[in-house]
Chains A and B, each alone.
Chain A
Amino acid sequence: MALTEERPPLELTSGEEAVVRKPLGVFTRPSDSPGWRSWLTTVDHKKIGIMYGATAMAFFALGGLEALLIRAQLAQPNGQVLDPQVYNQLFTMHGTTMVFLVIMPMLAGFANYLIPLMIGARDVAYPRLNAFSYWVFLFGGLFLYSSFFLGGAPDSGWFNYAPQSGVAYSPGHGIDFWVLGLQITGIASLVGAVNLIVTCLNMRAPGMTLLRMPVFVWMALVAQFLLLFAIPVITVALFLLMFDRLYGANFFVVEAGADPLLWQHLFWIFGHPEVYILILPAFGIVSDVIPTFSRKPLFGYPFMVFSGIAIGFMGWGVWAHHMFASGVGPVSVAAFSLSTMFIAVPTGVKIFNWIGTLWRGKLSFTVAMLFAVGLVSQFTIGGLSGVMHSVAPHDTQQTDTYFVVAHFHYVLFGGSMFGIFSGIYYWWPKIFGHKLSERIGKVHFWLMFAGFNLTFGPMHIVGLQGMPRRTATYPEGMGWDLMNLLETIGSFLIALSFLVWVYNVVRSRKNPHAGADPWDGRTLEWATSSPPPVHNFDVEPTVGHLDEWWHRKYDEDESGRPVRREHYEFLSAVDEVSLGRGGREPQVDTSSIHLPSPSYWPIVIALGLPLISYGLLYTYWLSALGGIMVVGGVVGLGLEPSVDPEAGHDDHGHDDGHGPGPGTDATGEEAELVGVGAGDGATASGDRAGSGERA
């Protein structure tokens, strides 16, 4: 890598020679070359969002492969495909992957890409920490997966109950990889949460009040708050388990008097908010997709927002519903049973609001819409089986059976994944400039929909018949054979549908350019070009409405029907396609926009973390090396100005007197991201001067 590549100072417009001061004690800053290398050092929220998405989809393929193996084993009674040990590893890794390495990062990717665009900002609050989060997530995931080659993957299930997870019962390194790997990805989530919360609160464009933010932004914000407060809880649990396993502590050692319920409490105090972390942003996605394709504003926007917030709060008071059969006392069971029933109320509110939006809308069933409606219907099924679990005596029959597996797949696959695919089809043209094929997409949707129901529908039945989950085989003659065979067939249909999607993606490069606003969208991301310029908007938006972009395009006639305005202006220079139908582009000089420069440090620091972890398992030398990388990286990041003084502008704020502090968690100068989203708009006044009527 060209760590020391020299670049001549750019010329200043004034003709003076730029005075270039070397940033203190750091390597030369990476330049913003467009090649693959720029992805390693980028701090652009859009590129980072894309990387999150691509990585998560790769993990989705891996997790799916694990699922297929599990289903192959269970296709028939007394399955011989997998050794029980391997089976345990596979279902553990499947669950862990899907939750922590697929849905969470996928939603983080959407949040990264979309939040700044939707609130009219140029980037997130801390762009370099954003890059850091991504790399930490990636390396955490790879670390976890390396366990397959280093003596075996974790094998105690995604919730890893104590004391089963202790050294006594799981002597290999598998669980250590699980503990350390999740600890690492937890750092990514926590940093990401702080970053995105500050972004939502602080970086909004002028006029973008909180109650004008798109529902996706709101739901992502609530999910980030949940992450902020839930991650430390699992961090504690993971540390305790790690100290037990690596250093002989006694937290979960029953012989020493430990109480394994401590693990269950900690895990589920994290775990239930976690399930809302997985679903709320998906709710947000469909809440933006459905209005677009119903050509109506979202029905009951404030209810949507407040029910999401309510879910966020109530999600903290229901965790023990996962422990009805673990021997918590009768009062707890009753209390948590009730609170769980109540949480269905705000969830139901959302479903009614979506239906209300669809009601009498001018529906167009694009693939994005199909997936969105898929979420509404399939999630409802999962929510209802959730309410069945909340009835404690009922749950004692269902718990640890396939009925629970059916429940959480209806909410996670039928809910979160359908929402994610809806978002992928919806925003693909924004992100890459061209649509995915609708025709192939419909094949994808229907195959997935059928496969999904064929796989998980019958699980309700075998579950109620008592088929236990997490068991490598089942005997014949239980009456489960047919259902299991169907489930396996269904799972292969899902795999096929995934391949169809991949084909669609590969083929889509040939599709024509879609234009800036292919769906006649409602929110600000459609007001800029596709893909958006690095600085997101040439003109800083000033927001006056919920669904701002829609209001810029449409007026109302006397009877309140929307009428398209003759002229309206995009927020960036756009392509020809978009300029039909009255669109205009702004005429502005964008050369005055500062953006934070790329940096090597995020990836360096992130790489230190798995090294430390390997060191803890093998040799402390590696830990020392990793530690040096982390500390050195943090210092480097702290000393390096967020906007590179060599990037061609005289940057008077970054001379010696103004270095940010090393070690302040809040990395000094990231605040200086300037421009849009900067509140009072003073900073971008220059841009707006030129944005007057060009028409």
Chain B
Amino acid sequence: MSVSDETLAREAQAEHDAQTEHEGHDHPSDRSYVGIALILAVLTALEVASFYVEDQLGALLVPALVIMMIVKFVLVVAWFMHLRFDSNLFTRVFVSGLVLAVGVYAATLTTFRFW
């Protein structure tokens, strides 16, 4: 269902041991932040554009939109929220909540429809 707590535990311990490595991790430069923002802007433009060509896209529309959404989400989380560079423990905590949310709510919504 999500990252297991035991790995979390081990991770925390590993971090404990290696804590010095985590200090002074390099933050990306402002330039790369702007780069990420550009990608985000382009993706948003594509998303909006899809609205005008909805009919041509047909069945592709929804998957395309969802993929772009996920990419944007991941970019912000990984870069702006520093999960790429920060401790794994943070990622685990956050991803646990995220995966749990997607899991239980997707199951709930589909029970209304399919099962």
Measuring CB to CB, which residues of chain A are less than 8 angstroms from any residue of chain B? 201, 209-211, 222, 225, 228-229, 233, 259, 261, 265-266, 269, 306, 309, 312-313, 316-317, 319-320, 328-332, 335, 679
Report the separation of the CA atoms of residues A210 and B16 in the bound assembly, to the nearest whole angstrom: 11
Does A209 lie within 8 Å of B13, measured CB to CB?
yes
Partner of A210, one of B13, B19, B100, B108: B13
Given contacts A210-B13, A309-B4, A331-B115, 5 further A-B contacts (CB under 8 A): A209-B13, A228-B97, A261-B112, A265-B108, A309-B5
Complexed CA–CA distance, A329 and B109 (Å): 12
Contact B5 A317 (CB under 8 A): no
Residues of B within 8 A of A313 (CB): 1-2, 4-5
Say what secondary structure dominates the interface of chain B. helix
Q: Report the minimum CB–CB distance from B78 to chain A (whole Å).
A: 22
B29 close to chain A: CB less than 8 A: no
List, in ascending order, chain B residues with CB within 8 A of A331's CB. 114-115
B9: A residues at CB distance < 8 A: 210-211
Q: List 7 A-B contacts (CB under 8 A).
A: A229-B97, A266-B108, A269-B104, A309-B5, A316-B103, A332-B111, A332-B115
Separation in Å of the A446 CB from the closest CB of chain B? 38
Q: Determine the main DSSP class of A at the interface with B.
A: helix
Contact assessment for A229 and B96 in the assembled complex, using a CB-CB cutoff below 8 Å: yes
A335-B115 Cα distance, complex, nearest whole Å: 10
The total of Cβ contacts below 8 Å across the A-B interface reads: 53
Q: Are A229 and B5 in contact (CB under 8 A)?
A: no
Which of A225, A228, A329, A679 is in CB contact (< 8 Å) with B5? A225
A210-B13, A229-B100, A316-B100 are known contacts. Are A265 and B111 too (CB-CB below 8 A)?
yes
Contact with A along B2-21 (1 / 0, CB 8 A): 10111001101100100100
A265 and B13 CA atoms in complex are apart in Å by 37
Please give the distance in Å from A530's CB to the nearest CB on chain B. 31
Tell me if A312 and B115 are in contact (CB < 8 A).
no
Contact A329-B1, Cβ < 8 Å, known A210-B9, A211-B9, A679-B16: no
| A591–chain B nearest beta-carbon distance, Å | 30
Which residues of B line the A interface, CB within 8 A?
A: 1-2, 4-6, 9-10, 12-13, 16, 19, 89, 96-97, 100, 103-104, 108, 111-112, 114-115
Sorted nearest first, the 8 A-B pairs with minimum C-beta distance are A331-B115, A210-B9, A309-B5, A265-B108, A329-B115, A332-B115, A332-B111, A269-B104
What CA separation (Å) do A332 and B106 show in the bound complex? 13
Q: How far is the CB of B92 from chain A (nearest CB, A)?
A: 11
Tell whether A329 pairs with B114 under 8 Å between CB atoms, given A210-B13, A211-B9, A316-B103. yes
CB <8 Å contact, B104 and A316: yes
Name the CB-closest residue of A to B113.
A329
B5: chain A residues within 8 A (beta carbon): 222, 225, 309, 312-313
Nearest CB of chain A from residue B28's CB, rounded to whole Å? 23
Query: Chain A residues near B104 (CB, 8 Å)?
Result: 233, 269, 316, 319
Interface residue from A210, A225, A317 paired with B1 (Cβ < 8 Å): A317
Chain B residues closer than 8 Å to A306, beta-carbon distance: 6
Neighbouring A residues of B19 by C-beta, 8 Å: 679
**How far, in Å, is A38 (CB) from chain B's closest CB?**
35
Chain B residues lying within 8 Å of A233, measured Cβ to Cβ, are 104
Interchain CA distance A330-B111 in the complex, whole Å: 10
Shortest Cβ distance from B6 into chain A, in angstroms? 6
Residues of A within 8 A of B108 (CB): 265-266, 269
Contacts of A259 in B (CB 8 A): 112
Please give, as numbers and ranges, the residues of chain B lying within 8 Å of A312 by CB-CB distance: 5
B106 to chain A, nearest CB (A): 12
Residue of A nearest to B101 (CB): A229
Residues of B within 8 A of A225 (CB): 5, 96
Q: Quick one: closest B residue to A312, CB to CB?
A: B5
A102 to B96, CA, bound (A): 29
A329→B96 CA distance, assembly (Å): 28
Contacts of B114 in A (CB 8 A): 329, 331
Q: Which of A210, A320, A679 has the most CB of B within 10 A?
A: A210
CA distance A335 to B104 in the complex (A): 14
| A residues in contact with B111, CB < 8 Å | 265, 320, 328-329, 332
Nearest residue in B to A309 (C-beta to C-beta)?
A: B5
**A330 nearest in chain B by CB position:** B115
* Most interface-central of B2, B9, B97, B114 (chain A CB within 10 A): B9
CA distance A312 to B4 in the complex (A): 10
Residue of B with least CB distance to A259: B112
Question: Could you tell me the distance between the alpha carbons of A614 and B18 in the complex, rounded to whole angstroms?
Answer: 51
A319 to B111, CA, bound (A): 12
Query: How far, in Å, is B90 (CB) from chain A's closest CB?
Result: 11
| B16 surroundings in chain A (CB, below 8 A) | 209, 679
Q: Are B96 and A309 in contact (CB under 8 A)?
A: no
| Chain A hits for B1, CB < 8 A | 313, 316-317
In the assembly, what is the distance between CA of A211 and CA of B8, in Å?
A: 12
